[in-house]
Amino acid sequence: MGELKLMKGNEALAEAAIRAGADGYFGYPITPQSEVIEYLMAEKPWERTGMVVLQAESEVASINMLYGGGGTGKKVMTSSSSPGISLMQEGISYLAGAEIPCVVVNVVRGGPGLGDIQPSQSDYFQSVKGGGHGDYRLPTLAPSSVQEMSDFVPVAFDLAFKYRTPVLIVSDGLIGQMMEKVELFDPIPRWTDEEIVEMHPWATNGKPKGGERRIMTSLYLDPHVLEEHNYKLQRKYAEITKNEVRYELLDAEDADYLFVAYGSSSRIAQKSVKLAREKGIKVGLLRIISLWPFASEIINEFTEKGIKGFLSVEMSAGQMVEDIKLAVNGRTKVEHFGRLGGVIHSPEEVLEALEQKLIGG
Amino acid sequence: MGELKLMKGNEALAEAAIRAGADGYFGYPITPQSEVIEYLMAEKPWERTGMVVLQAESEVASINMLYGGGGTGKKVMTSSSSPGISLMQEGISYLAGAEIPCVVVNVVRGGPGLGDIQPSQSDYFQSVKGGGHGDYRLPTLAPSSVQEMSDFVPVAFDLAFKYRTPVLIVSDGLIGQMMEKVELFDPIPRWTDEEIVEMHPWATNGKPKGGERRIMTSLYLDPHVLEEHNYKLQRKYAEITKNEVRYELLDAEDADYLFVAYGSSSRIAQKSVKLAREKGIKVGLLRIISLWPFASEIINEFTEKGIKGFLSVEMSAGQMVEDIKLAVNGRTKVEHFGRLGGVIHSPEEVLEALEQKLIGG
Amino acid sequence: MAELSVQEIIKPENLVYQKTKLMTDKALSYCPGCGHGTAHRITMEVIEELGKENDTIGIAPVGCSVLAYEFMNVDMQEASHGRAPAVATAIKRLWPNKVVFSYQGDGDLAAIGTAETIHACNRGENIVMIFINNGIYGMTGGQMAPTTMIGMKTSTSPFGRDVALHGHPLKITELVAQLPGTRFVTRHSVHTPAAARKTKRAIKKAFEAQIAGVQGTAFIEIVSNCNSGWKMTPIDSNNWMAENMFPFYPIGDIKVDGKLIEK
Amino acid sequence: MAELSVQEIIKPENLVYQKTKLMTDKALSYCPGCGHGTAHRITMEVIEELGKENDTIGIAPVGCSVLAYEFMNVDMQEASHGRAPAVATAIKRLWPNKVVFSYQGDGDLAAIGTAETIHACNRGENIVMIFINNGIYGMTGGQMAPTTMIGMKTSTSPFGRDVALHGHPLKITELVAQLPGTRFVTRHSVHTPAAARKTKRAIKKAFEAQIAGVQGTAFIEIVSNCNSGWKMTPIDSNNWMAENMFPFYPIGDIKVDGKLIEK
Amino acid sequence: MAKVRGAIVVDVEGCKGCGVCVPACPTEVIELAAEVNGKGYHFAYMENPEACTGCTNCAVVCPDGVITVYRAKKTA
Amino acid sequence: MAKVRGAIVVDVEGCKGCGVCVPACPTEVIELAAEVNGKGYHFAYMENPEACTGCTNCAVVCPDGVITVYRAKKTA
Amino acid sequence: MTEEIIIAGFGGQGVLSMGKILAYSGIMQDQEVSWMPSYGPEMRGGTANVTVIVSDERISSPTLSFFDTAVILNQQSMDKFEETVKPGGVLLYDPNGISKHPTRTDITIYKIEGARLAAEMGNTKIFNMVVLGAYLKVKPIVKLENVIKGLKKSLPERYHKLIPLNEDAITMGMKNVVKI
Amino acid sequence: MTEEIIIAGFGGQGVLSMGKILAYSGIMQDQEVSWMPSYGPEMRGGTANVTVIVSDERISSPTLSFFDTAVILNQQSMDKFEETVKPGGVLLYDPNGISKHPTRTDITIYKIEGARLAAEMGNTKIFNMVVLGAYLKVKPIVKLENVIKGLKKSLPERYHKLIPLNEDAITMGMKNVVKI
Ligand SMILES: Cc1ncc(C[n+]2csc(CCOP(=O)(O)OP(=O)(O)O)c2C)c(N)n1
Ligand SMILES: Cc1ncc(C[n+]2csc(CCOP(=O)(O)OP(=O)(O)O)c2C)c(N)n1
Ligand code: SF4
Ligand code: SF4
Ligand code: SF4
Ligand code: SF4
Ligand code: SF4
Ligand code: SF4
Ligand SMILES: [Mg+2]
Ligand SMILES: [Mg+2]
């Protein structure tokens, strides 16, 4: 068993980056995730593992530092919160286009605009659909505990390198600021330069002797070539969709209804399940772990099995609910319950929503 | 009848801005829309109408100039293409949050990343779902002709001020670069400063004598206040959804199938309708004009009437098709046909897709 | 001779100083002793003295002074992080007869907003830029700013700013003074009555030129304390500032009437 | 004495100059006479002469030289518009023993990328920045750049750059020379053999210092032509450049070994 | 000889007890109270009121603008 | 006395006829051809080959790097 | 066993670290814990509160509307949190600075003169440990030895010499808590 | 009537403006028109082409795979566009610089020595007007008077003095077009 600690989500994430063998972190402070860079600067991983930590001049610089670093085959990461992530959208689109592995963490806060600094989930659409320009997708992991803030970092790096893609970790102010017990995984050594050169022949870290130069680019001036490139990306996304769907089921076997939730909301909903079961309502929880690829298949299965309805529990005006509806395709009821702008729902009101919108409705 | 001209879409848009009584244009060059600022700089509207034109240092600066200008009650506009629009996402979220009217034009090109400079429609998701952070929506108009590049400018300004919201015009390289006959509308005089003060009491253009100061902000530190603000925004979006859906039907009355398309794609699809009708296939075209709010109701009506299927024709990997599916909700077939990365489909292959995916399928 | 009692002095006709009505009644959100409050007040005093209450538009940044709009009793816009100069540019160009100023911290103006700062100054936008340099990101809890001095401890330079790790401190004010678009560039502080009065005169001069239509950007740096970020008492922070920051950020005019001051 | 015939001279043993193999065989996408090609080639010659072919990572910008990666036969990254200095920063910090350079145009480096440029230089990133100043946005069809000179016509300043409308031209090179992080700042051109040779020496000096691990950023401006954007023949554009641009952008070293050159 | 006498009024509830006014007073009029106000701050008050000249120094540096100054001229 | 003689080879199809090499030559060796190459450019060629000293000036400024230079020393 | 606690007071009172020590103690005896602070701009000088949950089971929501126990250390917090104690729950407060004392009758109310006792012990900084002691007397959810272990874990080495003082403070709190 | 034309050649040959004049002429006689250039980096010095549609009806797709007429002015364009002429359609080309002449037999092929004629007229810039004349002879979709009107509309006032020269060039093209 690894080391047991009581840590904030943001701190666990930072420690996990060091332990995951990250080579570099580049970021710009923003609440509620500044603890990530603060922890790293205090921990001095350049002494522990050789990891580079740099406070960039902005989020735009940070994301482009990931482009540079990831493009050389190193494990690089940044973190920010909603407005900062919006600033990164051009860079993220470039990373996707140039197929550069890296990990981007969004500790979501209330929006739009400057909004507030409270936990929110209103960047779902940005994470899994829109965001930057062009047809691309980002594998997106949503931790719902401090443990997962730690555990998902190496998973994210694995996905990033397996598929040569930027990977999102979408957390929020609640998960970032709370402390929980966390079992830290054993440190994974950083790849040596030689290992990187061997493992990632595509990476631009100095042309191999007698070999061909490598290029990181997202530019394909001929539309037919760009189309080919896009088809390649789409095939990759299909592959990811096939392999990388992650979710968790709680009290679902006998359920008449399912809450569908992720991150903080899933913690609240878990309590609501308890409250509901105490009242004799058979509800379970489908906790979405990978926001993309989305757990459409399991939703389909429950639909086929005749579930009476799904309640999407989100701290948003209704975003993930669209993906649930697309999976259900009209075969059963899908409703949404959300609180906005950084307000966290209470377990009681989630249950009430279930009763009103699905059971009563 | 207004003045008849042969113009590029980009030029028509620029001329329309002057005629719509715009007070300011702020932008940064990018292909395929640089003609907008070039036209304005050559036309010197500051001499014609007093309109300000400024080449900004970047798209980030441009969008924040819109924040400043729009926040004073003036009619302001910017234009860019995909990567530049991605850079604007933080600013757009602020504009939505602070409820600042303005018009943002995206002449879409192939992505992701630097991609190419050919026409594309792969920024649909960014326009109508994701983009920036937080729960917001942007009324989005998609012109499909040079005439509409002109006509939609005053419409966009009207929407912007009616609802105090940024409005998107989503065009693409085809519509931007092509020339067509355009009937220019008669110039609408710019509002005088006095008119602005009277019409827009919310605007920050100097505190009224004896009155209260005005504030433009998207910051609401108390989450309950931010939630209230978000509910207000959501009510506004509901209102817009009720009032501002725009679409056009072509050969749809007797149709067994409908192409659903917008912008360039709708022009191609129109030709495909002709080809199909020549072959005796009863297909019509639902041309989407407002990407958001989306024409779900008319899709619902056709579904109710028993249409056999919808084919979403997009220059993307399949984005608008999700909104069609959400509207249809499983009641009939919905398929997607797209070309990627800046390739424009031929009318012939669109028809073929209809035959294979819906008629044969 | 009979001394006057305090009660006899405190009469409306003897009033010599009270908070300008261009500051709202809302309690400032700043930490005790923070220079932002003084900087706000003298700015508003200038606007009042110039009679421009109804013709002024101010731009608040993202930083501790994000809430400047709650306190300054004129029309205000809250800009996104770093972009106040772009916001101010558009407002001034669209309303050339209005008085426009921006108010920004060092993270806002000299980190994320560097491009907007340089370009507004280089275009010579006819605005007043007020720049509060406290060598730290106050609002987000005391992280290193571009202006943080070498050796200075912050939450992201917990062992002191080290050039190899974090780069050099940035003298953005000296930089913008190099640009042909700036007309008046000066550095001040507000930690003593004399300093605050001087700063106010500089601010007034800057606004007067804008009102007179003299072309060029006025850029006023105020070196200020952040006792929370620096983890000091207000008094200590002011002393530390005078001792440690002024040698590196020397107080005084840098450019006047478009000409660099020879040193 | 019998004269040698051309055929007798053209023999492998007499070869004195040929295109470096660090330029690919792909035909350059640049307009006839464009200085980008020469700048590319001398940069690659330096890398070859230093024996760093296998240890170099270059960053291409967005601009006409976006395709530099098609022509420079070393590992290359194509950065987003203006962000090459950030990209280079990360690469150099992660691979301190590799040779890292960025190559950018004036729109890329001095407009949208201003913040990244200033901050990379201010941090003193140990990279070589090559900056092609042709006073225009070549790639997008000849729009005004920050460096466009007063009076110069471009597609967005069709009546000539007018300060009131468009602001001043920006001497970004003089600006970065002010920063403590820059070690070597110099301005050159490649329009004559002598100029190109001098530029090459400067580039070599810059790379040598990087390889030796001398701390600090090297910044090499190359004033260059854009005959397409300027709507001139190549020869005319080079002459126009010498006559009109050099007085404003004077050729020569600005900062050497971390010290500003007194003028 | 005209003697100038001054007095200040501190908005006790607005004062944050930062103490910046204390050294700013050339005649050492001000001190921080031992008691706290509603927000828990040791507010400023005139410890030596007779020394006040109404010079406004304290008010000018008070970050929270909670000092009002009065001045009266009394001809001797 | 050693006389240095040079010669250049222009990659005709790669030449863009920009003419930058022409004034760069100190001995006026180069001119642009009246004919065009496959891309339509009036390519450079040695009009006065005997004057070439192999100084490499032309090659150094050729933006497209299409000039190769040879030099031979012939002792008189 | 699941204990859901809110600790609320001024920023400087050590509210967050009291919660942290409690959470660490839970970990020392193999329980699940969560610690969720209120954060945000009001933290600056203003009030601070933290929700701590110690449980034998996986913890669901780390933020709650209702609590088993509320530890209340200033008036604002009293106004806000008295109502959130579950019927039958516990409210523990320090009367120092409290103007409106709690009035509920469906809960058990305890008082601890933490500020006074800490001052008497000559170190106002151990105020929160006195309160912790009082709490642990009322709700012995963690063993004292585990609290000490937790302290050791959470304090940097150089502060370990202060542990005995902290232990004294806890004992002091345990002794002086008064049921109302 | 709908005429779908592609005009293709080098960048400097006036391909785009020829298309523009044609389109303007269509407007002058109340028809619908569209003009869609290929654009992009290959424009720089390379080939240029424009699709022009003149029609009595609303125009659907402004880009097409097949054309009624192809006007071809260099070899690259011949290689690319010969195949795109609809069976029964027209291919008009200038043989100058053409190495592989068109070979299709299901279309009508015309030749115009535009470059030579323009040179003979002493102004190589009117090359495209000679070709336009040739085209209009073959496909008189717009009246000459409307072309002149279109020219007037599209040229800035200061160039109006050149209109007679342009008219001559058109006439020259009409006279010299040869059916193969
Ligand atoms: C895009 C973006 N990035 C980061 C932040 C977080 N943030 C808020 S204020 C601030 C810095 C404040 O420092 P400064 O400008 O020096 O102002 P101060 O608080 O010191 O007065 C930062 C990084 C943000 N709100 N938006
Ligand atoms: C975000 C973004 N904005 C704008 C553009 C369009 N763009 C491409 S290159 C360029 C400017 C090129 O000018 P410069 O950097 O001077 O290079 P040059 O072509 O002159 O060598 C611009 C504005 C872009 N690609 N991305
Ligand atoms: S954190 Fe610093 S800058 Fe912000 S209010 Fe407090 S003292 Fe002032
Ligand atoms: S457009 Fe200008 S910079 Fe670009 S290749 Fe042509 S001449 Fe060079
Ligand atoms: S300066 Fe103002 S806030 Fe500070 S102690 Fe004095 S009166 Fe109070
Ligand atoms: S007015 Fe002057 S003398 Fe009076 S208390 Fe204030 S500083 Fe002291
Ligand atoms: S090598 Fe020298 S002499 Fe020979 S052609 Fe070139 S420039 Fe002229
Ligand atoms: S410089 Fe090079 S490309 Fe230009 S004409 Fe001479 S040989 Fe040809
Ligand atoms: Mg600061
Ligand atoms: Mg340039």
pLDDT digits (tens, 9 = 90+) for H13-54: 889 999 999 999 999 999 999 999 987 654 455 678 999 999
Confidence bin at C1 (pLDDT 50/70/90): very low
In angstroms, the separation between the Cα of residue D49 and the nearest Cα of chain H is: 33
Residue spans of beta strands (DSSP E) within D157-227: 182-189, 217-223
* pLDDT of H155: 82
Which residues, in sequence order, are CB contacts of A56 under 8 Å at separation 6+?
A26, A27, A28, A62, A65, D86, D119
CA distance G118 to G124: 5
Q: In a mutagenesis test of the C interface, which of E64, E73, E75 is the best target, namely the one with the most C β-carbons within 10 Å?
A: E64
CA distances to B145, B341, C155, H31, H51 from H62, in Å = 10, 19, 59, 15, 7
C-beta of residue G128 within 8 angstroms of C-beta of residue G2? no
* DSSP notation for chain H: -EEEEEEEEEGGG-HHHHHHHHHHHHHHTT-EEEEEE--SGGGTTSEEEEEEEEESS----SS-SSEEEEEE-SHHHHHHHGGGEEEEEEEEE--TT-SS----SSSEEEE--HHHHHHHTT-GGGHHHHHHHHHHHH---S-HHHHHHHHHHHS-GGGGGGHHHHHHHHHHHHHH-EE-
Q: Is the pLDDT of residue A269 over 90?
A: yes
Tell me if residue B99 falls in helix, strand or coil: coil
Q: How far is CA A221 from the centre of its chain?
A: 31
Q: Burial code of G12-45, b = ≥16 C-beta within 10 A, e = fewer?
A: ebbbbbbbbbbbbbbbbeebbbbbbbbbbbeebb
Look up residue B287 and give its two tokens: 């041309």
C-beta of residue A124 within 8 angstroms of C-beta of residue A319? yes
Mean pLDDT for chain A overall: 97
pLDDT above 90 coverage of chain C, percent: 97
Angle at G75 between CA G73 and CA G78, to 5 degrees: 75
CA distance A292 to A241: 8
State the count of interchain CB pairs (< 8 A) between D and H: 6
Please give the average per-residue pLDDT across E38-66, as a whole number. 95
CA distance B288 to B299: 11
Residue B62 per-residue DSSP state: H
Please give the average per-residue pLDDT across G132-153, as a whole number. 93
Tell me if residue C183 falls in helix, strand or coil: strand
Residue B70 per-residue DSSP state: H
C-beta of residue D56 within 8 angstroms of C-beta of residue D211? no
Confidence bin at H124 (pLDDT 50/70/90): confident
User: Over the stretch A24-33, which tens digit does the pLDDT of each residue have?
Assistant: 999 999 999 9
Look up residue A347 and give its two tokens: 């377990």
Whether residues C116 and B193 touch (CB distance < 8 A) is answered with no
* pLDDT of E64: 98
Q: What is the CA radius of gyration of chain D?
A: 18
Q: Burial code of E23-59, b = ≥16 C-beta within 10 A, e = fewer?
A: bbbeeebbbbbeeebebebbbbbbeebeebbbbbbbb
Instruction: Decide whether any atom of ligand 6 lies within 6 Å of the E44 Cβ.
Output: no
Q: Is the pLDDT of residue G97 over 90?
A: no
Whether residues C141 and A34 touch (CB distance < 8 A) is answered with yes
Contacts of C228 in chain G (CB under 8 A): 44
* pLDDT of F75: 57
* DSSP notation for B23-55: -EEEE---TT-THHHHHHHHH-HHHHT--EEEE
Give the residue with greater pLDDT, B232 vs G161. Answer: B232
Question: Of the bound ligands, which one is closest to the alpha carbon of residue E15?
Answer: 5
Residue spans of beta strands (DSSP E) within chain C: 15-17, 56-60, 75-78, 99-105, 128-133, 136-137, 143-144, 182-189, 217-223, 252-256, 259-260
Tell me if residue D196 falls in helix, strand or coil: helix
Please give the average per-residue pLDDT across B277-292, as a whole number. 98
In angstroms, the separation between the Cα of residue E16 and the nearest Cα of chain C is: 5
C-beta of residue C4 within 8 angstroms of C-beta of residue E5? yes
Complex prediction ipTM: 0.97
For β-strands A179-184 and A3-8, DSSP reports them as antiparallel
Neighbours, chain B (3 or more CB pairs < 8 A): A, C, D, G, H
Q: What residues pair up with C187 in beta bridges, in sequence order?
A: C221, C252
Please give the average per-residue pLDDT across A216-244, as a whole number. 97
* pLDDT of E76: 47
Domains in chain B: ranges and CATH:
3-194 (3.40.50.970), 248-359 (3.40.50.920)
Angle at D151 between CA D148 and CA D155, to 5 degrees: 60
**Residue to probe by mutation, ligand 3, list C29, C31, C62, C66, most atoms within 8 Å of CB:** C31
Output the tens digit of pLDDT for each of chain D's 263 residues: 467 889 999 999 999 999 999 999 999 999 999 999 999 999 999 999 999 999 999 999 999 999 999 999 999 999 999 999 999 999 999 999 999 999 999 999 999 999 999 999 999 999 999 999 999 999 999 999 999 999 999 999 999 999 999 999 999 999 999 999 999 999 999 999 999 999 999 999 999 999 999 999 999 999 999 999 999 999 999 999 999 999 999 999 999 999 999 87
Neighbours, chain H (3 or more CB pairs < 8 A): A, B, D
Question: Of the bound ligands, which one is closest to the alpha carbon of residue C35?
Answer: 3
Domains in chain C: ranges and CATH:
29-260 (3.40.50.970)
Q: Is the pLDDT of residue B344 over 90?
A: yes
Confidence bin at B360 (pLDDT 50/70/90): confident
Closest to F18 in 3D by CA, of D34, D36, D28: D34
Whether residues B57 and D156 touch (CB distance < 8 A) is answered with no
Instruction: Decide whether any atom of ligand 3 lies within 6 Å of the C68 Cβ.
Output: no
User: Over the stretch C82-111, which tens digit does the pLDDT of each residue have?
Assistant: 999 999 999 999 999 999 999 999 999 999
Please give the average per-residue pLDDT across C31-38, as a whole number. 97
In angstroms, the separation between the Cα of residue H51 and the nearest Cα of chain B is: 9
C-beta of residue A124 within 8 angstroms of C-beta of residue A338? no
Upper half-sphere CA count for residue E40 (Cβ side, 13 Å): 15
Please give the average per-residue pLDDT across E42-47, as a whole number. 97
Closest to D10 in 3D by CA, of B350, A100, F68: F68
For β-strands G47-55 and G2-10, DSSP reports them as antiparallel
Confidence bin at E39 (pLDDT 50/70/90): confident
Q: What are phi and psi of D132, to 5 degrees?
A: -95, 110
Facing C157 at nearest CB: one of A30, A34, A41: A41
Please give the average per-residue pLDDT across B313-330, as a whole number. 98
Q: Burial code of H5-30, b = ≥16 C-beta within 10 A, e = fewer?
A: bbbbbbeebbbbbbbbbbbbbbbbbe
Residue spans of beta strands (DSSP E) within A283-359: 283-288, 290-292, 309-314, 333-338
Confidence bin at G43 (pLDDT 50/70/90): very low
Whether residues E65 and C235 touch (CB distance < 8 A) is answered with no
* pLDDT of A361: 63
* DSSP notation for A248-274: EEES-TT-SEEEEE-HHHHHHHHHHHH
CA dihedral G90, G92, G95, G97 (to 10 degrees): -100
* pLDDT of D3: 72
* pLDDT of H152: 87
Nearest residue of A to residue G52, measured between CA atoms: A179
In chain A, how long is the greatest CA-to-CA distance? 72
Mean pLDDT for chain B overall: 97
C-beta of residue C82 within 8 angstroms of C-beta of residue C91? no
CATH of G2-179, one of 3.40.50.300, 3.30.70.260, 3.40.920.10, 1.10.287.110: 3.40.920.10
Whether residues A90 and B87 touch (CB distance < 8 A) is answered with yes
| Residue D31 in contact with partner chain H when CB distance is under 8 A | yes
